[in-house]
Structure 1
């Protein structure tokens, strides 16, 4: 039941707190004074006009200190942008736990609970800042979501092709099943079957061709999306995009987790908790250890895991670190946890305190002027030629190798 609004005279200036319970079609806002007195609540439609009505409503009670919004990156995204455009401070409010909701649930109850949580956080100074969702990272987020669905659909297509070949007529199975995936897709996409209504063979062949062409179309979509993501990554955060082991997709996933305003992450420990890499104590009795954290953003955690695997396989510094941890008796899981935590720390610094990406445009001309091949350089540094090529093209970043490479070229 809505609270009875307190009458505010024009001469009275009250600092107020607001909480918003968001839904797809409507939002419910509740207003409290700094002392916790309920001043009023209202339901508004989740439209631009409704957002304007909400802003006017809360401002009618006094000076707005802060507004807490549930789901700032889902149902409350539009309202959050509108409040910020109006100059109203916004913080993220976590939806109440199930135990709290057992005492009763309605839109006004949830809205006042959100406002009370904001008031409590205001006293402790623990005000979580939501993502701004109004910059290039928001572009990356949408493209990355589409890419993930395209990858899933492509995997489903190739899996369906192989399942269909298991029960296909024997001559089709003998012809296509031995082929590797690239040749299989290319061959199936080029066949010219008879109309599907003529026979079982024709229906199976046409189905296989449709699936192969679907696979090719989705591959083209993914390639185009990767190109756009790579450009946006380098424009948005050149330092993380150039870091060793961060590919197009892993970098994009970490940028989405940090948001357009990574400065909201007050410490590298906060970013570690957000990405699910903060160690959790798991000690008991004589056992003193930590376990993997299974909370946080799982997409970001997966990206950090992939980066850790790449560095473990190819980065000498990481290999030395792994050897050191292994000597202390740590298991593979513990080592990967430590690697993810260290990479999360590095990424946070690259996001919040980015360093200029060193120029590498002079490396290839210098090598050409010395008449050296990629193989010669690779043999000198003990790496694959592709590593030197990608370094020269700026596709991967390795500051130590780039500096050593440049010094060697200048003295060779």
Structure 2
């Protein structure tokens, strides 16, 4: 430490990789002190933090990828009471000017923590790790099922005519059921037997992936409901969309500075696209595309089944706005609503008493639905907490109590 650095305070920077992390230490005046590489093991993390502390009192540690390669060192540093900040990767122009290596990146991370530049609060990855795992696995199961169904379709195109004509015009789900249950006849030609065996195997794979998708969805629904019941209960928000929005937020709402910043993060901020006498905006193509897709799906559900949204869409069409403009406005409004749900805890009225109360009085779903003027599916979803309608739930509860 130089003679001018008498405060004893230092800042750390960490460049993260799969098998190693490179740690750099700078003084409170920005002077380079030392850097060293450590393995990505619990012992390596402890040695890295001790290395930083050996040069002075750590004020903050800048880490790239606090929710990916840096999750281990982040958790260890937070457990020791150290301030950790997420360092945003520098722009390409800056990388070209300064060069790139592990020590350079580590020192840049430390300087970002010192200068409060290109940083954000560290993500709390551990709090959402279960949701992330289930969300990714469920999405992978559906992608794999879609791929297998495409293989079946492609195989039927080139299959022998006797097989192609029998199965290609069947509805997709019925075709999967029939193919999965069929017995491959022994009297077929070798080519026909091979094609039928492939079709049967792919159909069984599709059915198993569909069951896995449902099982993972039930587990995911429990986790997202426990993490944020208000968000899960919002109209049009299912387990997958709720999981994606929670993962985008990063589990710690203090990362979200404002609802406009969250809208920009989700790619839902209106982008000016005016020229001459035309004043208009367009949809953003930036931000987290997964979160943008979640807002899009919520908007579609509300446009198709939410009375208030339908009325709004009708008013906007009468005012001359296009479908793209209406969708952009809806996504922006939904982002504002989601931001409030993510940053403000909401207590959702319980509905666990509805189904036992109905069953205790031997009332069928159809009878309850007829009494309330809704579909039986609506009552079923209300009882299971899939659809939130506080007014209908209270009306239903009062009717059951009086029945």
Structure 2: distance between partners of 1:267 and 1:152: 34
| Cα contact 2:232–2:242 (8 A) shared by 1 | yes
1:134 is paired with a residue whose SS is helix
Aligned to 1:134: 126
Q: Is 212-221 or 272-281 further displaced after alignment? A: 272-281
Unaligned 5+ segments in structure 2 are none
The answer to whether the aligner puts 1:106 opposite 2:88 as a matched pair is no
Aligned-residue offset at 1:65? 1.2
Give a deviation string over 1:245-287, Cα, whole Å, max 9, x none: 1112111111221233233323222222222112222333333
Give a deviation string over 1:88-111, Cα, whole Å, max 9, x none: 111111112211111222211121
| Cα contact 1:268–1:348 (8 A) shared by 2 | yes
| Cα contact 1:138–1:259 (8 A) shared by 2 | no
The answer to whether the aligner puts 1:60 opposite 2:64 as a matched pair is no
The answer to whether the aligner puts 1:219 opposite 2:214 as a matched pair is no
Aligned-residue offset at 1:196? 11
TM-score, normalising length: structure 2: 0.90
Give a deviation string over 1:199-242, Cα, whole Å, max 9, x none: 10111111111111111111121111011111112221111111
Q: Which of 244, 249, 261 is the matching residue for 1:270?
A: 261
The answer to whether the aligner puts 1:345 opposite 2:339 as a matched pair is no
| Cα contact 2:112–2:119 (8 A) shared by 1 | no
1:323 is paired with a residue whose SS is helix
| Cα contact 2:121–2:254 (8 A) shared by 1 | no
The answer to whether the aligner puts 1:88 opposite 2:82 as a matched pair is yes
Alignment root-mean-square deviation, CA: 2.8
Aligned-residue offset at 1:373? 2.5
Give a deviation string over 1:116-174, Cα, whole Å, max 9, x none: 2222226xxx8511211112x21010111111111111001111111111111111112
Structure 2: distance between partners of 1:370 and 1:144: 36
Structure 2: distance between partners of 1:316 and 1:411: 29
Q: Is 256-265 or 81-90 further displaced after alignment? A: 256-265
Alignment size in residue pairs: 399
Q: Which of 313, 320, 333 is the matching residue for 1:329?
A: 320
TM-score, normalising length: structure 1: 0.88
The answer to whether the aligner puts 1:164 opposite 2:159 as a matched pair is no
Structure 2: distance between partners of 1:370 and 1:165: 48
Structure 1: distance between partners of 2:148 and 2:280: 44
